[in-house]
Structure 1
Amino acid sequence: MTDDLSATSLAEHIAEFTSAMTKQAPPEVVAKLGIELEKLASSGIAKQALATNGKAPDFSLPDTQGRPTALSSLLARGPVVLTFYRGGWCPFCDLQLRAYQRILPEIHGLGAELVAISPQTADYALSDVEKKQLTPPVLHDSGNRVARSYGLVFTLSDALKELQTGFGNPLPKFNGDQSWELPMPGTFVLDRDGSVKFAHVDPNYMVRAEPAAILDVLRQLHAEGGA
């Protein structure tokens, strides 16, 4: 799998990774995971999430150095691309964050900022920054407090707990609590007044917002004078 996301869509890179993963994983594990993802999708859980034309709740969260970062302060300078991810242990999050890092110059060129949020502890968030060479703010959302206000949080089923443990992803260790809660991957483009101009939320964690779609919205805001 190449790290060059410039010529290929994020969805194509995810499909490439998923295909390789499926070939290596036991068929019963793949089938079980598919069933659990289908249950999440059919539950309608995504309907509770913040949607386009909504108003983004303000928040203040610490970055990897413990410094508070407030959404309102970021919006005072321009639009914000806000992405909630599950954690550095998630390969799909890894692909997504690397893809967004690649378009960061364009995001900044349009007067906007990118912010990534996960429930993992500050130490694990710092590891993400160092390993992925991330330069946007990466924030620690203890207990999924902010993700909950955006309607993204769900508790893993017993089957998903078993699968994640088998994958070597003990969430209580990464998140520092026993809740077994995660945010659905959600990406939002916010105008300077906090209004949601783009929302992508999917209970299937293999589906992520395309960089091109994010840039399209930011270009429109820039043309309208929103940046």
Structure 2
Amino acid sequence: MFKKIIYSLCLLIGISIHSQSKGISFQKIDLEAAKAMAAKENKLIFIDLYTTWCGPCKLMAKNTFTDPRVGEVFNKNFINIAIDAEKEGVNLVKEFKIVNYPSFLFLDHTGKLVQYDFGYYNAEQFLGVGASVLGKVSVQNNKTLDQVKGKMVGDIISNFTAKDHLGKTFSLSGEKEKLIIVFIRGQWCPYCNKYIETLQNLSPELQSKNARLVIISPEKPEFIEKTINKTKTGYTVLYDEGYKIAEAFDVLYTPNTETLNFYNSRLKDDFTKSRSDNSGRLPVSATFILNENKEVVWRHFNPDYKERASVEDILKNL
């Protein structure tokens, strides 16, 4: 009898723990760690900014965050962290001018605000808030190949910074020369490697044209090393962490499922581990020429990765 009672208690405790785990899983990490995790896992960041004296904050924690449906959506799509606004959240309160609690910050992996909400929501309502956030990001970041158009002649490119494989920082605003911006898919792409080798023919002409060529890769520094070793290039190759440069030039797209499955099975770690997340997104292999004012004065944009800008056309338009 005693054994049965113990067994029943253990079963009830197990069920209780299991049910609690179905709600939102809040990570015990700071914002910087959340940003790194969000980039790696291709997720957004959800911050519950609360205070210990706030009644609606306690109700959210008790009723809404524990709902299994809310947990399923938020654990799948967000890195979730709860921050005390009067302790470790003081800087966030100042930055986002928070006056209401609870406040909910939805950020991308760079810390940029996607959506802000506050107040008490029941589970159904909060699922709607989550859907609104995910809908905004889906429109922004998950374009198909036929939806990306590339920046047009006359467009001004906003400043961006990125590091090369040696950790040296490149800043667009600091460049005084004309720039040739070349996007590649990665060191696993034979067409990219061959094209970089071809571009070496430009090198003797660039100084007289007051121009610099910069290659943009979605791959991490250790994989960029492979690009450099394979092509023997002397050009700067930048790691486009988080695809922010590809997004700025509107060349970022998500391949279809069939293509992604092929790359994942054929290329394995060269594809799955080379980039800042697991989304499979890639840049169109486009080339842009920017003048000294960071204005696009010429471009070659072809969704077919086998078609690249010729050396002759680049020189003609410098």
TM-score by length of 2: 0.52
5+ long unaligned stretches in structure 2: 1-143
Establish whether residue 203 from structure 1 lines up as the match of residue 307 from structure 2: no
Structure exhibiting the larger radius of gyration computed from Cα positions: 2
Greater shift, 79-88 or 94-103, is seen at 94-103
Greater shift, 149-158 or 125-134, is seen at 125-134
Establish whether residue 182 from structure 1 lines up as the match of residue 282 from structure 2: yes
Letter in 2 for 1:217: N
TM-score by length of 1: 0.72
Equivalence for 2:179: 80
Identity rate of aligned residues, in percent? 26
The Cα offsets for residues 92-150 of structure 1, whole Å up to 9 and x where unpaired, read as 11111111122111122311100001110111112212231111111001121111111
Counterparts of 1:95 and 1:108, CA distance in 2: 23
Task: Judge conservation of contact 1:46–1:202 (CA < 8 Å) in 2.
Answer: no
Letter in 1 for 2:254: T
Counterparts of 1:131 and 1:153, CA distance in 2: 24
5+ long unaligned stretches in structure 1: 1-39, 219-227
Q: RMSD of aligned C-alpha atoms?
A: 1.5
The Cα offsets for residues 164-183 of structure 1, whole Å up to 9 and x where unpaired, read as 23432552212142111001
Letter in 1 for 2:286: G
* Pairs within 5 Å for 1:1-227: 43=146, 45-47=147-149, 49-74=150-175, 76=176, 78-168=177-267, 170=269, 171-218=271-318
Counterparts of 2:265 and 2:163, CA distance in 1: 31
In the TM superposition, what is the alpha-carbon distance from 1:53 to its structure 2 partner? 1.4
Letter in 2 for 1:181: R
The structure whose RCO (Cα within 8 Å, separation 6+) is larger is 1
Letter in 2 for 1:69: F
Task: Judge conservation of contact 1:124–1:174 (CA < 8 Å) in 2.
Answer: yes
Residues 1:123 and 1:215: Cα distance change in structure 2 (over 3 Å) = same
